[in-house]
Amino acid sequence: METENPLKEPEKKEELLKEAKSEEIKETKEVKDAETVKKPYYVGAHVSSAGGAFNAVENASLIGASAFALFLKSQRQWAMPSLKPGVAEKFKEAMTKHNFTADQVLPHGSYLSNIGTIDETLYEKARTAMLEECKRVEALGLKYLNVHPGSTSGKCSKEESIAQIAKAINFIHSQTSYMTIVLENTAGGGGTVGVDFAELRSIIDKVENKNRIGVCIDTCHAFASGMDLKKKNGIQSIVEEFDKVVGLSYLKAMHLNDSMGAKGSNVDRHDRIGYGYLGLDPFRQIMNCDALRGIPLILETPHRDDAAYGADHPWAKEIVLLRGLEGKEEVEEINKGAIQSFFGKKGSKKAAKKKGEEKETKEKDGDQDYKEEEEAKKEPAKPKESKPRKACKPKKATKEKKETSTKKAL
């Protein structure tokens, strides 16, 4: 039987070429259309879950958040209480009611768990506690558990600690179904692991199921560890470095915090957005970086512990402030009015402290900080301790370099 030669049918060949070209154009258009549909910036805060995890959803909604973080148990206790009847259902109902998905929620693990230790007793205790939290994540229909990688505790090398961390993660993965463990970068000091992207990558390299591991970049920690977020295009540089060393597919979330400590100070002290060493511009850059769309951007900034959730809550105001930075090429045009109208005139914090009218609580974001803060609560603050920064006056702007009007000299 003679095989049909398509060359004998030029019309048919031309038709096939047109069809192929049409499909190529269609595919290219679909790709371009998909690229133009950008995901939103999911901005929120680490809200209280007191009274039940479902209350965290309500609190997030009250401050206008499109993302939130919460503790799944008391961050200062080992035991994981059993879920009370109906809590998981109420949580899921609240999530549906307020249009939150699992991708917008970043539960935070206990500060007690140090899976980087070589002390076998403590290691087993930490691994078990973290496993229980991971199981709770799945029970609530969530996706992530944000954890501090761990510490050498001065008893082993970083390499040994990294091996311990990865071993615990692999074990937890074997005991759970789908959830992802999200490693947070640290400010440095105290033998903490995860100070730079290379250390985080070293952990990931040893994790067997790489589809269930991720990273959360904390802006305060990054700056305190020595990363220059404050320079021009600093955020873009950090994102590019992360992509080069770790890979953007592993970036699952960010913590948005200004820093009370200078660059490279290893001081893990969060400040309000625009009030610390970072100033507003790095956050403007974040809110205009497409690589950071579609992931939880979580505030852990300090505020009064008696602040009621609602439009007047400091986090609600910071969320509005951050959203106002989207599309801005410069921060100066919104700097002066925005910060002062949101948080009061500069110096009001200092005056309130003198009168004893203001008591701020900080997000306790590391074991090395917690004891100091708890002791400060128990005893009356000494005059010098009442001023975490020596001066609350802003530095004068120069023609060469205009800083945000909210920067305070420390």
**Got the DSSP string for 16-42?**
HHHHHHHHHHHHHHHHHHHHHSPPPPE
Pick the catalytic residue from 46, 221, 272, 313.
221
Q: Among this protein's residues, is 148 annotated catalytic?
A: yes
Distance (Å, whole) CA 284 – CA 8: 63
Residue 328: pLDDT over 50 = yes
Question: What domains sit in the chain, N to C, each tagged with a CATH number?
Answer: 37-378 (3.20.20.150)
Q: Evaluate whether 122 touches 78 at the Cβ level (below 8 Å).
A: no
Residue 358: pLDDT over 60 = no
Q: Evaluate whether 104 touches 66 at the Cβ level (below 8 Å).
A: yes
Q: What b-and-e string marks burial along 44-82, b requiring 16 or more CB atoms within 10 Å of the CB?
A: bbbbebeebbbbbbbbbbbbbbbbbbbbbbeeeeeebee
Q: Among this protein's residues, is 98 annotated catalytic?
A: no
Between 27-31, 73-77, 212-216, the lowest mean confidence (pLDDT) is in 27-31
Residue 260: pLDDT over 80 = yes
Pick the catalytic residue from 133, 199, 258, 300.
300
pLDDT at 190: 87
Pick the catalytic residue from 58, 98, 103, 111.
111
Pick the catalytic residue from 184, 199, 281, 363.
184
pLDDT in tens, 140-191: 999 999 999 999 999 999 999 999 999 999 999 999 999 999 999 999 988 9
Pick the catalytic residue from 9, 27, 30, 76.
76
Residue count of the chain, please give it: 410
Alpha carbon 37 to chain centroid distance?
A: 24
Distance (Å, whole) CA 179 – CA 172: 10
**Helix ranges (DSSP H) in 147-207:** 158-175, 197-206
pTM of full prediction above 0.85: no
Q: Among this protein's residues, is 270 annotated catalytic?
A: yes
3-state helix vs strand vs coil in the chain, percent to 5: 45, 10, 45
Please give the share of the chain, as a percent, with pLDDT higher than 90: 67
pLDDT at 76: 80
**At 74, is the pLDDT very low, low, confident or very high (cuts 50, 70, 90)?**
confident
Pick the catalytic residue from 136, 173, 255, 284.
255
Q: Among this protein's residues, is 312 annotated catalytic?
A: no
Q: Among this protein's residues, is 184 annotated catalytic?
A: yes
Q: Using CB atoms within 10 A of its CB, is residue 24 exposed (0-12), middle (13-18) or buried (19+)?
A: exposed
**At 36, is the pLDDT very low, low, confident or very high (cuts 50, 70, 90)?**
very low
Q: Among this protein's residues, is 46 annotated catalytic?
A: no
Q: Among this protein's residues, is 76 annotated catalytic?
A: yes
Pick the catalytic residue from 46, 108, 272, 313.
108
pLDDT in tens, 123-140: 999 999 999 999 999 999
Supply the mean pLDDT for the chain. 82
Mean pLDDT of the 98-105 span: 98
pLDDT at 374: 41
Q: Among this protein's residues, is 255 annotated catalytic?
A: yes
Report the C-alpha dihedral over residues 309, 315, 316, 321, rounded to 10 degrees: 170
Between 283-287, 326-330, 342-346, the lowest mean confidence (pLDDT) is in 342-346
Between 19-23, 53-57, 265-269, the lowest mean confidence (pLDDT) is in 19-23
Other CB atoms within a 10 A radius of the CB of residue 310 amount to 11
Q: Among this protein's residues, is 313 annotated catalytic?
A: no
Pick the catalytic residue from 133, 199, 258, 268.
268
Looking at mean pLDDT, say which of 150-154, 350-354, 403-407 comes out highest: 150-154
* Lookup: tokens for 117: 């230790």
Amino acid found at 125: K
